[in-house]
Structure 1
Amino acid sequence: MTALPPTSEAGTPRWRMPRTAHAAHPGLVLAGFVVAAFAIGLSQQGAAGVIQDQVRSLDTTVDMIGWTIVAYALGVVVGAPVIMVGLAAWNRRRLLLTMSAVFVVTSALTVVAPSVEALLGIRFLAGLPHGALLGSATYIGVLALGAERRGQAIATLMYGLTGAAVIGVPGMQWLSEQAGWRASYLVVTLVGAAGFVLMWAFVPSAQGTRGVGFRTELAALRGRVLWTAIGTVTVGFAGLGAVQSYIVPLLEDTNGFSSDAVTVILMIFGLGMTAGAFAGGRLTDRSPVLTARIGIIGVAAMLLALGLVGTLGWPVVIALVVLGACIQVFSQSAQAHLMDATHTSPSLGAAIAHSALNAATVVGTGLGAIVIGLGWGFVAPAWVALVLALVAVVLVFVGPGYRR
């Protein structure tokens, strides 16, 4: 059963609302969202696979290119709440298509970036629509499947992101070696355009929060329950950024895997994340809080294991794959809990979830860079991430909003 509105709003021009979107099928709606999420995943996660060619092409350093990855994540952190609050009254279909168009344009600009300084600014702009796009898609996806299946709706969108993890990094790395990093981002642009077309064709009209002022919308961001949920996502998910950002040197330099073996391991790691998204979606439908506890305990356990076996070869791979699965279980439940915490504006809550996830990327990647810069090695980020995960463990058991 779907709660999607069957027709367009009165006065909506037909060219902006095709017949296929008047009585949209939930599966087709979600298909467009998955393709859009896949494009976003390629853009964000695949960036790690083209670093070497960018360094050569733009005559810069790895550290400087690393800042472009951080710039994208900061764009998500800033863009999600600002856009969702500032454009709260916008029809969600209109907001989705606008954000998708911005993503396609900024991806195309990435292809032609003339310098690393220009790339830095463009990547920040490319991150701005990320949270609003996926947040609105999550909201409409929940409407499509019904609130009782919201975990599955969130998981379905995550399939696009985790699917990008399976083929995004190795695929963009291979294409970058064959045709240059600009070709890789051209693919991102084309996939993003395909997502835009699917959403235009099948996503129905869904009203924004009309009659709600800017201050009223901001009121949804108040309260200990919400900020505890945001903090839990940030510290709990930071472990993925701390580990994944440096996974290639961990495998190659510390454990001696060949580059070909690392490509396969990255694909297996992505499959583990996909499996976690599938399981997490179904567990979240039963109990978001219980699922959050199971997921974050698993994350902490795998980070501890990674710290202990970080130089032993294949045990590291096993720990990484299970870590990827556990972090996705935690992610699904955390996003559902954030939507509950902002029940007066669930689409804002979904966008805030992506903002918090990317804040976690900034925190984890940044702290990992610090300990590596101190000469502590590529296993050290796992220990930093473990400390953060233990904070999240405490929060999901005794924090406001999690106790009930």
Structure 2
Amino acid sequence: MPLALLALAIGAFGIGTTEFVMMGVLPQTAADFGVSIPAAGHLISGYALGVVIGAPLLTAVAMRLPRKTMLLAMMALFTAGNTLFALSPNHELGVAFRFVAGLPHGAFFGAGAVVAASMAGPGNRAKAVSMMFLGLTLANVVGVPLGTLLGQRVGWRATFVVVAVIGLAAIAGIAKLVPHQGVPTETSLRGELAAFRRPQVWLALAIVTFGLGGTFACLSYVAPVLTDVAGFEPSSVTLLLALAGLGMTAGNLLGGRLADRALMPSLYGSLVALATVLAVFTVTAHAKVGAAVTIFLIGLVGFMIGPMLQARIMDKAGGSPSLVSAAVQSAFNIANSIGAYLGGLVIAGGLGLVAPNWVGALLAVLGLAIAAVSGGLERREQAAPARLAAAEA
């Protein structure tokens, strides 16, 4: 695999760290700004809103830039946003700067996925994309636990200064290692928007939204499940989240390889496995060993889906993959919001802390149903020329 993928993975590592470490340092940030924990939660939703808005908007604005320039610009904005957030004097500006830091998230991954795929040889596109996303999953293994620890010991501002330094390292790596690819003359905003007329593109985005929504319905409330249901000490939660991160890393790599071999069968199998593991967690959550093993498996099967859908949506976008590839990140964050909202709804309804796993299993089944529709439509499209030829004969 090209060394340039390392530079993209460093950028993904920084983005993954800043997105998820906020959950780990939320108490320290709330205390520093003098606001409640729920109010400090706006720092998480502000970032997610930036991702949802920035992914299509910045991709469209920078459509005519060379993709290497696009990557450098997005990482520069990311670095600036995190630096300003680390210097925020109050909560209101903190939310604004988190929004700024989230804006380049989807555009970076959208352009990066196209660049990674273009550098890979035949039959290795999904594998190359998964190598870039390896940085995102490793952030959950290394970046988030260490960032949380740094925030607890030194202060949350130090955590985001380090994130900004990672952004600078990514800028240097992209500038040095990613080859110049020229202006993408084969694409235009009209062509990119035209890709959204294809039903398969919307079906792939729907699978992301609901399939991965199942994963987030569980993971959003996994900390109280581990302490109040499984019986772990709060000090053990960081290690268990790192275990989930290891599962995500393995799943990301495995998903990329399976997608290059047999994309749709692998996608079906992953969604079935996700629904099964989430349902099983309602039982295993009551025992420490069972809970730890299942947390790893949820990370594994949940994040196998990502590179599969990223590869599929680029294929279905035809020659205009940048905007729809960035839209995957918007769908990912919508999945996060839907999963967390529905999971919180059943807890508030008195169904217990393990109830979000049933919600997650049902969302995964819905994602599977959408995938089946997508696969059926594809088979009909492939069979249409044969039927036409038979009719003419």
TM-score, L = length of structure 2: 0.92
Query: 1:400 offset after TM fit, Å?
Result: 5.9
Query: 1:212 offset after TM fit, Å?
Result: 4.9
Mean alpha-carbon deviation: is it higher for 97-106 or for 160-169? 160-169
Query: 1:401 offset after TM fit, Å?
Result: 6.7
Map of 2:42 onto structure 1: 67
The change in CA–CA distance for 1:272 and 1:84 in structure 2 (over 3 A counts) is same
Q: Does 1:122 align with 2:89?
A: no
- Tell me, in whole angstroms, the C-alpha distance in 2 between the residues paired with 1:275 and 1:210: 36
**Within 5 Å, which residues of 2 pair with 1:344-363?**
344-363=319-338
Deviations 1:20-62 (A, max 9, x none): xxxxxx6321111011010001101111111111121111122
Letter in 2 for 1:241: F
**Within 5 Å, which residues of 2 pair with 1:2-401?**
27-210=2-185, 212-399=187-374
Query: 1:402 offset after TM fit, Å?
Result: 6.1
SS of the residue corresponding to residue 124 of structure 2 reads helix
- Tell me, in whole angstroms, the C-alpha distance in 2 between the residues paired with 1:73 and 1:67: 10
- Tell me, in whole angstroms, the C-alpha distance in 2 between the residues paired with 1:201 and 1:402: 43
Query: 1:296 offset after TM fit, Å?
Result: 0.9
- Tell me, in whole angstroms, the C-alpha distance in 1 between the residues paired with 2:119 and 2:319: 19
Letter in 2 for 1:193: L
Query: 1:211 offset after TM fit, Å?
Result: 6.7
Query: 1:147 offset after TM fit, Å?
Result: 4.4
Mean alpha-carbon deviation: is it higher for 394-403 or for 58-67? 394-403
Query: Residues 224 and 400 of structure 1 are in contact (CA less than 8 Å); yes or no, is this contact kept in structure 2?
Result: no
The change in CA–CA distance for 1:342 and 1:147 in structure 2 (over 3 A counts) is farther
- Tell me, in whole angstroms, the C-alpha distance in 2 between the residues paired with 1:403 and 1:219: 19
- Tell me, in whole angstroms, the C-alpha distance in 1 between the residues paired with 2:279 and 2:353: 14
- Tell me, in whole angstroms, the C-alpha distance in 2 between the residues paired with 1:132 and 1:101: 12
Deviations 1:59-92 (A, max 9, x none): 1122222232122122112111122223222110
The change in CA–CA distance for 1:360 and 1:254 in structure 2 (over 3 A counts) is same
SS of the residue corresponding to residue 362 of structure 2 reads helix
Deviations 1:309-365 (A, max 9, x none): 333332122222111100111111111111112112122232122221111112112
Deviations 1:210-249 (A, max 9, x none): 3754333211111211111111110000122222222211
Letter in 2 for 1:197: A
Gaps of 5+ in 1: 1-25
The change in CA–CA distance for 1:373 and 1:64 in structure 2 (over 3 A counts) is farther
Query: 1:163 offset after TM fit, Å?
Result: 0.7
- Tell me, in whole angstroms, the C-alpha distance in 2 between the residues paired with 1:398 and 1:213: 30
- Tell me, in whole angstroms, the C-alpha distance in 1 between the residues paired with 2:291 and 2:139: 22
SS of the residue corresponding to residue 220 of structure 1 reads helix
Aligned residues: 379
The change in CA–CA distance for 1:315 and 1:344 in structure 2 (over 3 A counts) is same
Query: Residues 280 and 333 of structure 1 are in contact (CA less than 8 Å); yes or no, is this contact kept in structure 2?
Result: yes
The change in CA–CA distance for 1:401 and 1:227 in structure 2 (over 3 A counts) is farther
TM-score, L = length of structure 1: 0.89
- Tell me, in whole angstroms, the C-alpha distance in 2 between the residues paired with 1:181 and 1:109: 13
Deviations 1:262-310 (A, max 9, x none): 2221111111111111111111111221121111111111111112333
Deviations 1:105-152 (A, max 9, x none): 001011012222222222122111001111111111111112420111
Letter in 2 for 1:182: R
Map of 2:383 onto structure 1: none
RMSD over equivalenced CA pairs, Å = 1.7
Letter in 1 for 2:238: T
